[in-house]
Structure 1
Amino acid sequence: MTLKQQLYIITFLFTLPLIAQESSPSEVFWNTLKSHCGKAYEGSLALPEEDESFGGKKLVMHVRACSDNEIKIPFYVGDDKSRTWVINNDNGILTLKHDHRHEDGTEDDVNFYGGTASNAGKEDIQFFPADVATQKMIPGAATNVWWITIDDTTFTYNLRRLGTDRVFKVVMDITKPITEPEAPWGWIDK
């Protein structure tokens, strides 16, 4: 073995720990989202422009609770505090679920639907195709794909039902934190 080959191997062996320490795209996404824990932001409905349930209402997200494996983000639509996005991290694979509650805190009949990322995604975007439990609960949502984006200025929550015209997009301005809202319906601090 030549001296040049030996130096190459030694250099490779010393840089290997640095390569192994690089974060996966989902870890970078997770840490970026987690850096907003405790903060609330206001946003707007981007699609569909004419939506009876969301259009013209104050939209607020609050990155309310963060642990090593779970981030809970209540999403308020006007006075409606029924929705919480729950993102779980299982060894770098993220899952998005939707926790829906009634005003008295009881679970909605349609609850904890969502999907799991099929790979580590990208640092600024994660996709969540509908899972089997969602398909059983909401057969029409079998082709749902949710995705969340986050960068220095915006957080977006998106939904597309493949094979249909159904599309939904909320854009939150994460450059201007607002006063934290009250707890969502059914919230229990742990």
Structure 2
Amino acid sequence: MKKVYLFLIVCFMVNTANASTPLDSFLLKLKQYCGKSFEGTITAGGRDGDGFTGKKLLMQVKSCGDTIKIPFFVGDDQSRVWVLTTQNGSLKLKHAHTHKDGRPDRITAYGGVSPNIGFSDLQFFPADEETCTLIPYACGNVWWMTVSDTSFTYNLRRIGSDRLFTVTFDLTMPTNEVLQPWGW
């Protein structure tokens, strides 16, 4: 009987060791949309003059290797790319901004690192030191992304203010649009 229990314990340990983390699950869910584009709508925080309201919003899951790159197009502006990379068991989000000629914008590479492995459908990123130095007013930013079978959301909350911004993309309806972000 002891051998049976020992065998079951060893099997459980092997299965647990091979189980993916919530972070791995999140990345796998996101990677299944690689090469596809989706239209989005502002579902929280949009207001006239914010640079987003009233414009076509489109995301593409464009690069899906060790680094996932998701261009985010706002009308004719193709300057934004969300860059996700794993770092010591956590996920790092950086916002890459470029000019039409491919030169980096002076405000680029801001974001944060998730403080833990997150959830299989949610990862969040408090502003890092680089962001606080580059954009002091954004030091209180927290970004988060969600992914499910039907939607992807990009979210921003500025702690200590009423700033909240959410764009929701319908993953059930890919578009045929393929654009190149500036500097790609």
Q: Could you say whether these structures have the same fold, taking a TM-score greater than 0.5 normalized by the shorter chain as the test?
A: yes
Rounded to whole Å, the distance in 2 between the matches of 1:33 and 1:62 is: 11
Contact 1:27/1:92 (8 A) holds in 2: no
**Structure 2 equivalent of residue 56 of structure 1:** 54
**Structure 2 equivalent of residue 133 of structure 1:** 130
Structure 2 residue matching 1:111: 3-state secondary structure: coil
**Structure 1 equivalent of residue 17 of structure 2:** 20
- Gap runs ≥5 in structure 2: none
Q: Deviations over 1:32-76 (max 9, x none)?
A: 101111000001111223242101111000011111x20000000
Rounded to whole Å, the distance in 2 between the matches of 1:39 and 1:156 is: 15
Structure 2 residue matching 1:177: 3-state secondary structure: strand
Q: How do residues 53-92 of structure 1 correspond to structure 2 at under 5 angstroms?
A: 53-67=51-65, 69-92=66-89
* Change in 2 beyond 3 A, CA 1:51/1:150: farther
Contact 1:89/1:95 (8 A) holds in 2: yes
> Residue 119 in 1 paired to residue 116 in 2?
yes
- Gap runs ≥5 in structure 1: none
Structure 2 residue matching 1:18: 3-state secondary structure: helix
The RMSD of aligned alpha carbons is 1.1
Partner residue of 2:26 out of 19, 26, 29: 29
Contact 2:92/2:125 (8 A) holds in 1: yes
Rounded to whole Å, the distance in 1 between the matches of 2:147 and 2:100 is: 30
Following TM superposition, by how much is the alpha carbon of 1:136 offset from its aligned partner in structure 2, in angstroms?
Answer: 0.5
Contact 1:129/1:143 (8 A) holds in 2: yes
Contact 2:45/2:164 (8 A) holds in 1: yes
Rounded to whole Å, the distance in 2 between the matches of 1:129 and 1:137 is: 15
Rounded to whole Å, the distance in 2 between the matches of 1:51 and 1:156 is: 21
Following TM superposition, by how much is the alpha carbon of 1:91 offset from its aligned partner in structure 2, in angstroms?
Answer: 4.7
Q: How do residues 171-186 of structure 1 correspond to structure 2 at under 5 angstroms?
A: 171-186=168-183
**Structure 2 equivalent of residue 162 of structure 1:** 159
Amino acid paired to 1:150: V
TM-score by length of 1: 0.93
Amino acid paired to 1:149: T
Contact 2:78/2:182 (8 A) holds in 1: yes
TM-score by length of 2: 0.95
Structure 2 residue matching 1:50: 3-state secondary structure: coil
> Which one has a bigger Cα radius of gyration?
1
Contact 2:73/2:79 (8 A) holds in 1: yes
